[in-house]
Amino acid sequence: MTKSDIHVCSAWESEHERPVYTLSSTCPDCGAEAINSAPAPFDPADPYGEYRRRARDAGPDTN
Ligand SMILES: [Zn+2]
């Protein structure tokens, strides 16, 4: 299996507490489109990844 086989819920930031990964083309949890995980939210090459994690960690854990 390669990384490109894994999709991530395109709406996870609003629908879930953390990325929802799936091998399907739709999120098994909320039914949103599952997109290729190449531009992963936690991609270490993503210059904004740490910022987003900091922002989420700093905020209240609410839904
Ligand atoms: Zn989802």
Residue range 33-45, pLDDT digits in tens: 999 876 555 555 6
Q: Is 0.75 surpassed by the pTM of this model?
A: no
| Collapsed DSSP state (helix, strand, coil) of residue 58 | helix
User: 14 vs 48, which has greater pLDDT?
Assistant: 14
What is the CA(26)–ligand 1 centre distance, in A?
Answer: 8
Average pLDDT over residues 10-16: 96
pLDDT of residue 25: 94
As a whole number, mean pLDDT of residues 45-55 equals: 68
pLDDT, mean of residues 20-29: 95
Q: Ligand 1 centroid to 47 CA: how many Å?
A: 24
Q: Strand, coil or helix: what is 59?
A: coil
What is the 58 CA–ligand 1 centroid distance (Å)? 23
